[in-house]
Structure 1
C-alpha cells in the first residue's frame, strides 16, 4: 500500500500528504490506486480542491453497530484530508439481493422496509461524519432512470468469465448451485453508481473487493477521465473475538446502545482484540497508540487502564463524556462489588422457554451450545443464584439473568 508523494509540493505540504496517507492506510486491508489518492490529497493542500469519496450501504438492518462504523471512521478520515463523502444508500440495489460472500441470495426488502431502515441510517451516521462534507444519496435516483435500454448497454460492458472470478459465484457454479442473472446484475449496478457519482475513491469491506473493482472497470468503459481508487477495510470481530460483529450472533455493540451497556461491552473484549479496536475505531494517532502498546509491553501501563480509555472514548463519542464517566463508575461498582447494574435491558418471553434458548435470543450467548457450556462451567446466574440445570425452563415472573460480571438481561416471562 505504498504511495509516492506528488511532485511540485512544498516541503510542508509534502509532509502533510505523507501524514495523511499514513492515516488513510491505517488499519486498511488493501489499497488500490494509492498514488492517485496521494495526488488528490496533494491538490487539496495546494489549492483547496476537494475530491469525491463514496461508500454504499444497503439498508438491510435498522441499526448500526461498531462493525459498521469502521467504514464510517475511514470516511471521516478522508473528510479531514479533502474528501467530500457520498454516503450512498442503496435503496434500489437493496431490493435485489447480493450474496456478499454468502452461499445464497439475500432476502429482498419491501420499499417500506428500505425507507424505514434508510431513515435510521441517516439519523446515525452524523455521529461520525461531518454533515458539511457529506451528501446522503439514494441510487434509485439514477438506476430508475437507467431503463431497459441502459441496463442492456450496461451488461455489455462486462463478461460472464469476469463475473465468475468472484469467489462465491465461482464456488456456487462449480458446486452446481443456482446463480440468478439478477445476482450478476447487482455488481454492475453497484459499479454504475461510481459512474453516476463521478467517484474518485470507493470504500468497502474486504468482502466487497470484487464489486468495488467493477466500478473501476465501468468508469473506463463509460469514458470517465479517471479510475477510482479502492480501499477495503477489515471486518471487525465482535465480543467473542472470533466471528465478525453481527446482531444475529449476539456479539455486537450497537451505536444506539445505552451508555452503561456500551462501556461494559467494550470492557469485555480481550486485551489482544483491544488493539484492533484502537486501530479501527479510536481517534488517537498512530504514534499515540504505539506509545500505549510500548507502555503495556514494558509494564509501565496496565492493559485495563488502556481498555478503560478506549471504552471512555467510544462511549463519549456516541453519548457524551459525562455519561461515559457515569458508565465507568457503574461498571467499576458492578465489577468490584458484584452488584446488579441499575439500568439493564428487558426482554419478554413466553412461559416454558428453555434457558439455553432464552440466553441465545437475549444475545447473552451466541448459540444454545455455548449456553450449555456456560451453564456447565458455572457462569450463569438467575437472580444472583448460580444455575446448574441446563434443562431449566422458566415459569411466569421476572428474572435477572447474568453471565460473568458484565452481561445482564431482565427476562419478563409471560
Structure 2
C-alpha cells in the first residue's frame, strides 16, 4: 500500500467535502498498519438505464481507491429503486416495476465496468437484506431519526412549506440507504453533494447501533452542455457512457469555455501540472479555447474508445465544423408520410431535448433543411429526402416515403 500522505493526496484531489478528515486519517493508518483494505461504498439506484459522464466523477474516484488496494462495493438499489430517491424532487417519484428495476440494474452493472476493475469490484443488491426485514426491525429503524431531522432536507422542507404532499415511504428512502451502510460495514461512502443528507444518514445510523461510523466523501456535481444545470438525461445536456466516440467528441466541443478546467479536473487523468498550464493559457488568452477543447475531447474520448475511434472522431469534427462539410455518416431514418412530423422526429432522435427547444431555435434561425434556413414552423417540408441541420453541429437525414 502507498503511504498515508500519498493516499490522502489522491483521495482529496477533486473532492468537495470530507466528513471528517481526522477519522479518514485514522482509518487509513489502521488499514496500512494491518494491511487490510477499507470498504468503500457507492449506492446506485437504477432509476434510468444509462450512466453519463456526470456519474463517472464518483466512479473515477472509486477507481483511484481501487488502485490503492481498497475494496469497492457497489450497492445497486433494486429495493430502494422501487421508491426512488426523492432528492431534489418537488413531488413523489413514479415507482418503478420489478422488471424496470432489474433491466436498469443489469445495464448499470455493465456500464460501471467501463471504469472499475470488474475482478476487484463487489456488486450487491440491497434487496438481499432490505426485503428480509421484519416489521419490528423496520420500526426500530424508524426510531433512529425524527420527523424534524427529515424536514431539514431542503426538498422535504420546501414541499412542506408549500403544502405539497410528502409521503411516508419517501422518508424511508434515506433510512434504507443508511441501512445499506450497516449491512456491509462501510468504512467510507461516496456520493455527490446533492446526496449529503442520505450519506450522513448512514453515518448516523452506524453510530446509533454502536458501529464505527463511515467517513462521508462528497464529490462535486458537474454541469452539462448548457453550462448551468447538473448533467442530466432528462435535461438533454448529458454525454452518455455508451455514446459513440464521434458523439462524445462533438458534445465536449459544445461545452462553455468556463467548464474546460472543471472537465479536465473531474473527467480526465491528466496531471495537475497540465491543468495548471491550461488555466494559465485560458487566463492570458495565449491560445484559442477551441484548441484546448479539442485536446480535452481527445482526453475524455480516449478513456472509453480506441485510438482509431478517437482519430476518426477528431477528423469528423474538423471536416464538419472547421471545413463546413456535412458529415458522411449522419444518421438516416425512414418515416411514413401519413403520420410524419418533422419536429417530433428530430426530438425522438435526440437532436434537441424538446419541441419547445426546436421551436426556439427555429425562431432564432438555427434550423436548416436541405441547406435552406427555415424560420417558421409552417415552412417545414413534409416530404422527400430532408437533411435537417439543427444549430451548427447536429444533422439527420429523414426520408419521408
| TM-score computed with the length of structure 1 as normaliser | 0.89
Question: 1:251–1:363: 8 Å Cα contact kept in structure 2?
Answer: no
Q: Which residue in 2 is equivalent to 1:133?
A: 120
1:215 to 199, 202, 224: 202
Task: State whether residues 89 and 155 of structure 2, in contact with CA within 8 Å, keep that contact through their aligned partners in structure 1.
Answer: yes
Partner of 1:371: 358
After superposition, what is the alpha-carbon deviation per residue over 1:372-391, rounded to whole angstroms, capped at 9, x for unaligned?
33223322111232222233
Structure 2 counterpart of 1:404: 391
Alignment-derived partner of residue 259 in structure 2 = 273
Go from structure 1 to structure 2 and tell me whether the alpha carbon gap of 1:402 and 1:38 turns closer, same or farther (over 3 Å shift).
Answer: farther
Cα deviation digits, residues 121-141 of structure 1 (max 9, x gap): 111111111223311110000
- Unpaired runs of 5+ residues, structure 2, are none
Q: Distance in 1 between matches of 2:26 and 2:400?
A: 61
Deviations 1:100-147 (A, max 9, x none): 111111111111111111111111111111223311110000111112
1:147 to 99, 112, 134: 134
1:286-308 residue CA offsets vs partner (Å, 9 max, x unmatched): 23211221133334444223211
2:241 to 250, 255, 260: 255
State yes or no: 1:84 paired with 2:71: yes
SS in 1 for 2:131: helix
2:182 aligned with 1:195: yes
Q: 1:238-387, aligned counterparts within 5 Å?
A: 238-346=224-332, 351=337, 355-387=342-374
Deviation at 1:257, TM superposition (A): 0.7
- Which secondary structure does the structure 1 equivalent of 2:387 belong to? strand
**Structure 1 residues not aligned, in runs of 5+:** 1-8
SS at match of 1:291: helix
Task: Assess, with a 3 A threshold, how the Cα gap between structure 1 residues 348 and 222 changes in structure 2: closer, same or farther.
Answer: farther
Computed over aligned residues only, the root mean square deviation of the Cα atoms, in angstroms, reads 2.3
CA change 1:131–1:67 in 2 (3 A) is same
The Cα offsets for residues 220-255 of structure 1, whole Å up to 9 and x where unpaired, read as 11211x111112223221111122222222221111
Shift of the 91–301 alpha-carbon distance from structure 1 to 2, 3 Å rule, reads: same
Alpha-carbon distance between aligned partners in 2 of 1:33 and 1:235, rounded to the nearest angstrom: 20
Structure 1 CA distance, aligned partners of 2:219 and 2:237?
19
Tell me if 1:204 matches 2:191: yes
Aligned residues: 400
2:301 and 2:283 map into 1 onto residues whose CA distance is 26
Question: What corresponds to 1:16 in structure 2?
Answer: 6
Write out per-residue CA displacement over residues 174-196 of structure 1, whole angstroms, 9 at most, x where no aligned residue.
22221111111111111000000
Work out whether residues 41 and 72 of structure 2, in 8 Å CA contact, stay in contact via their aligned partners in 1.
yes
* Residue 105 of structure 1: aligned partner: 92
The structure-2 alpha-carbon separation of the partners of 1:413 and 1:78, relative to structure 1 and needing over 3 Å to count, comes to farther
Alpha-carbon distance in 1 for matches of 2:387, 2:97:
37
CA contact (8 A) 2:347 2:355 kept: yes
Asked if the contact 1:67–1:245 (Cα under 8 Å) also holds between the matched residues in 2, the reply is yes
- Secondary structure of the structure 1 residue equivalent to 2:132: helix
Structure 2 CA distance for aligned equivalents of residues 45 and 287 of structure 1: 29
